[in-house]
Structure 1
Amino acid sequence: MTLKLLIALFFLLLAGIGLYHTNKPLPAGISYRGTPSPLENPVLLTDVTRHHTDGTETLDHEIFDEVLRLIGSAEKFVLVDMFLYNSTQPEGAAHRPLAKQLTEALLARKQARPEIAMIVISDPLNTMYGGSRSPWFEALREAGITVVETRLPPLRDSNPAWSSLWRPCCQWLGNDPDGGWLSNALGNRLVTVRSYLALLNFKANHRKLLVVDQGSRLRGLVTSANPHDGSSRHGNIGLSFTGKAVADLLKSEQAVLAMSGADTSAVDRWITIAENRKAPVADSRTAAPDTGRVMVLTESAIRDKALDMIDRAGPGDHLDLAVFYLSHRGIVDSLLEAHLRGAILRVLLDANNEAFGHSKSGVPNRQAALELHRAGASVRWCNTRGEQCHSKLLMLRPEQGHIEILLGSANFTRRNLDDLNLETNVWLSLASSAAPAAKAVHFFNEQWRLGPGNDPVMSLPYEAWADDSRVRYWRYRIMEFTGLSTF
């Protein structure tokens, strides 16, 4: 009887730990919703890989060219927050050495401007949670650049079935970057068992952004692209902008630094500078029309804005979604309702058939697509050959009024939208004739319209990757609900 009682108490304890850490208060500043601000000097950036019928491919990639250019012109301040920052890549196609290029750009600017304040924030996955070393992080630190590996335990647990056990048994063990003996999924350096125990928590700082000074102002860049060699051929999207919204971007990063126990003084100073900068006064005789609004959103604030956009789509309004992962039940249900209301819904998805040289089952996109397709909504698959359709883009194009665009790091999954991962997106509202809006629409339309019979072939019909397996469908639903998944 005593043994049964002890076992019952043990599982009750684990359940209590799991319940608390999935519902505990968020760290200060997490799930941030900025103030809608004037959209100043926007530049929309896209990475597009085009596959031609003769077997060749064309890479039209802009995002990291702009990242490196902005770092190279900074004088006083650089902040980088990027999820995947390493050189792993599958065999086969050539990949751009993005981790090396970003590191060299930061080191070169630090050498040219020794007084510049530089902060690099990333996810501990890049050092396998302290069980290995990153040659890029070490080089940056040796040059006097602050590198912060995000402290993830303060966040809510996305996989409580494991984390409720890991927290009392394993998190106190720390890790040893020189004590590894297991093969490393992210490099050649051996790692410890503790690295893989931490990995199973399935949580991350998934943000992808840059802030630099440009003279008396700051410029921010929010994107879906990583400085990761194996991701260098992915399709992605990003937005660069100036103005008061950059202060909101820094406030959201200030929270990550504070949560990780890092010094925030440099960011504090530049927030003050950004907030106190006066917007240029336009001459009323030559004033341009409204250039639009922008708002910085993180974590569940992204979900709330996405649902707001979808729920406002009425008959005749166009609703376009291009996303790497679609599994969030609230989002899927809202898309179905928008379609039934008469909104013109188009959903462009990655087929989830391959990741860095490894085959995948298609979960969760093919299962979410099945629901949409059966309801009569239009679904197509990106035509990928080893790379991923990695954008996270939602557009609401009403019959009248401004176009609304939501883009950034967040996939449309429970982990990305329900205050579990760290994510950063921006929301825009602007005239459809504005250059960023026109480019975003072209980015989506090119992929949607160029199917088989065209050159290049950018997308495939739903039937190309259709999957009506009930087993895999319910596997997706269970994985999404429990957190026992990597999406």
Structure 2
Amino acid sequence: MWSWFVTVLLVAWLAMGAWQRYKPLPDGIGRAFPERPAEGLRFLADETWYAPSGERHARRRIFDEVMALIGQAERLVVLDMFLFNDFAGSADARDFRPLSAELTEALVDRRARHPTLEAVVITDPLNTLYGGLELEHLERLRGAGVRVVVTDLTRLRASNPLWSGAWHLGPRWLGNQSEGGWLPNALGTGRVPLRSYLALLNFNANHRKTLVVDRGKGWTGLVTSANPHDASSLHGNVALRFEGAAALDLLASERPVAGWSGVGLPGPEAPDGAGAPVEGARLQVLTEGAIRDALLAAIRASGPGDRLDVAVFYLSHRALIEALVDAHRRGAVLRVLLDPNRDAFGLEKNGIPNRPVARELHAAGVPVRWCATDGEQCHSKLLLRLPAAADGEAEMILGSANFTRRNLDDLNLETSVRLVGPAETQALRDASAFFARRWHSTPQRITSEPFAAHDDTSTWQRWRYRIMEATGLSTF
């Protein structure tokens, strides 16, 4: 009898895990929107560098722009941000900018000045430890009339099916509560129930970082790699601000996610752009798997003399790595700038996945450098393709998606934008200059380190990375 019972449970576990991994995607996921005229472009970056004495210098622009856009909105603000809290983990919080409080204040103030303003904040349940905490700033937003949407991640496919099969059979249905927690909050203060950690092990996320606002009679969008998270305020990040029909595409990309929680987003629909040719610089909104397809297409389109610049927090996706090596062999000029994966909010990381991947790229002849960091992270997710031909078109892809299986294979929610146009397009020139500043370190302005500075990968680390990437048993 017991053997039959255990067998049934095992079969149910495996069947549920397989279903959660391969179930149909919700409508609106993994979408490539039409190419639109690139209007009102502005490339933005948060940068950090070091003096010879070790003193940190920083220039922060992204959330200044976010606050300014919210501060002029009169009809609609839709903000989707992965981390929106003041959790600091084990890090020293003295140097952090209070981004979560500033953003909360900006939204509350704008609603007070314009009571008819529709404001919606979409965020990931990690901020509440999956229902195990109540956050004061989210409650304050609700009290000010801002609709707060905590994303229903159960709609997504399983990133870690080995655990998710069991979780969907049992712990999921227990719910959670913000009172009576007895375990420490690993991300910050307070205590949380065991159920918070059971939910965390699914490793799914709404990892998007987007903003849509009205601006005058038109619409403005912003896509970034930055979070309004105090402990992330020192990170290096990139963003692109834009206007016009692409901003309405960005709004359309958020409607399904809000709709999962029964919240409808107001605002106009984007015009039908299917098949309409666009002259000059073009902008395209991409989500989830469509980001992967665009990255692969850009790399595979690179020929002899074309330049490929990559600056990314996590690089582990096997198809992308193989495509980069193939582009190098075809004669494309590659530069890969990676975070050393050693710091995470006061905790020391083990260098996975970037160090094993960097060793693989270096062995294939691809130039690799490390961002110079001291507690902060090189958090950008950026690819630039610059043509060898004077009359060729350049291409840039940036946004929330790391170059990993979880971020690119329809497991997380992600948003990036693709800009294609003449190389002299100002946003493309600014992005290229940003990359050059980080790549070319000088004794007076230390921004990066040579590959040898973190070439310490063991055989076990290489195998561990490959297993973690293949199975989803990882946080990257």
TM-score by length of 2: 0.96
Encode CA deviations 1:300-345: one digit per residue, 9 max, x unaligned: 0000000000111111110110000000111111111111111111
How far did 1:248 drift? Answer: 1.2
Instruction: Return the alpha-carbon distance in structure 2 between the equivalents of residues 81 and 379 of structure 1.
Output: 33
Amino acid at match of 1:103: T
* 1:263 is the counterpart of 2:263: yes
Q: SS of the counterpart of 2:396?
A: strand
Partner residue in 1 for 2:28? 29
- Contact 2:128–2:135, Cα closer than 8 Å, also in 1: yes
Partner residue in 1 for 2:61? 62
Partner residue in 1 for 2:309? 320
Q: Among residues 422, 430, 437, which one is paired with 1:431 in the alignment? A: 422
Encode CA deviations 1:348-389: one digit per residue, 9 max, x unaligned: 000001111100100000011111000111000000011000
Instruction: Return the alpha-carbon distance in structure 2 between the equivalents of residues 20 and 246 of structure 1.
Output: 35
Aligned residues: 468
- Contact 2:298–2:385, Cα closer than 8 Å, also in 1: yes
Among all aligned residue pairs of Structure 1 and Structure 2, give the percentage whose two residues are the same amino acid: 50
Q: SS of the counterpart of 1:58?
A: strand
* 1:457 is the counterpart of 2:446: yes
Instruction: Return the alpha-carbon distance in structure 1 between the equivalents of residues 207 and 77 of structure 2.
Output: 19
* 1:299 is the counterpart of 2:288: yes
- Contact 1:126–1:186, Cα closer than 8 Å, also in 2: no
- Which stretch of structure 1 is more off in the superposition, 360-369 or 462-471? 462-471
Amino acid at match of 2:428: A
* 1:418 is the counterpart of 2:409: yes
Q: SS of the counterpart of 2:297?
A: helix
Q: SS of the counterpart of 2:183?
A: coil
Amino acid at match of 1:470: T
Q: Among residues 335, 346, 359, which one is paired with 2:335 in the alignment? A: 346
- Contact 2:87–2:189, Cα closer than 8 Å, also in 1: no
- Contact 2:48–2:56, Cα closer than 8 Å, also in 1: yes
How far did 1:163 drift? Answer: 0.6
How far did 1:93 drift? Answer: 5.2
Instruction: Return the alpha-carbon distance in structure 2 between the equivalents of residues 48 and 461 of structure 1.
Output: 19
Partner residue in 2 for 1:280? none
Instruction: Return the alpha-carbon distance in structure 2 between the equivalents of residues 387 and 233 of structure 1.
Output: 6
Instruction: Return the alpha-carbon distance in structure 2 between the equivalents of residues 48 and 421 of structure 1.
Output: 26
- Contact 2:87–2:230, Cα closer than 8 Å, also in 1: yes
**Structure 1 residues 123 and 351 mapped into 2: Cα distance closer, same or farther (>3 Å)?**
same
How far did 1:262 drift? Answer: 2.3
Partner residue in 1 for 2:271? 275
Partner residue in 2 for 1:83? 82
Instruction: Return the alpha-carbon distance in structure 1 between the equivalents of residues 449 and 93 of structure 2.
Output: 23
Instruction: Return the alpha-carbon distance in structure 1 between the equivalents of residues 440 and 311 of structure 2.
Output: 13
**Structure 1 residues 87 and 36 mapped into 2: Cα distance closer, same or farther (>3 Å)?**
same
Partner residue in 1 for 2:15? 16
**Structure 1 residues 473 and 297 mapped into 2: Cα distance closer, same or farther (>3 Å)?**
same
- Contact 2:93–2:231, Cα closer than 8 Å, also in 1: no
- Contact 1:403–1:430, Cα closer than 8 Å, also in 2: yes
Instruction: Return the alpha-carbon distance in structure 2 between the equivalents of residues 189 and 275 of structure 1.
Output: 47
How far did 1:9 drift? Answer: 3.0
Encode CA deviations 1:188-228: one digit per residue, 9 max, x unaligned: 22111000100111010000011010011110000000000
Instruction: Return the alpha-carbon distance in structure 2 between the equivalents of residues 173 and 318 of structure 1.
Output: 52
Amino acid at match of 1:226: N
How far did 1:4 drift? Answer: 3.3
Instruction: Return the alpha-carbon distance in structure 1 between the equivalents of residues 21 and 164 of structure 2.
Output: 10
- Contact 2:97–2:230, Cα closer than 8 Å, also in 1: yes
Q: SS of the counterpart of 2:376?
A: coil
Partner residue in 1 for 2:438? 447
Amino acid at match of 1:356: F
Partner residue in 2 for 1:284? none
Instruction: Return the alpha-carbon distance in structure 2 between the equivalents of residues 466 and 341 of structure 1.
Output: 26
Encode CA deviations 1:93-121: one digit per residue, 9 max, x unaligned: 50100000000000000000011000000
How far did 1:290 drift? Answer: 5.3
Q: Map 1:152-163 onto structure 2 (within 5 A).
A: 152-163=153-164
Q: SS of the counterpart of 2:105?
A: helix
Please give the root-mean-square deviation of Cα atoms over the aligned residues, in Å: 1.4
- Contact 1:251–1:271, Cα closer than 8 Å, also in 2: no
Structure 1 unmatched runs, 5+? 278-288
Instruction: Return the alpha-carbon distance in structure 1 between the equivalents of residues 268 and 246 of structure 2.
Output: 10
Amino acid at match of 1:87: D
Encode CA deviations 1:253-282: one digit per residue, 9 max, x unaligned: 0010112x2221xx2x4133x5399xxxxx
- Contact 2:67–2:106, Cα closer than 8 Å, also in 1: yes
Instruction: Return the alpha-carbon distance in structure 1 between the equivalents of residues 298 and 3 of structure 2.
Output: 52
How far did 1:181 drift? Answer: 1.6
How far did 1:48 drift? Answer: 0.2
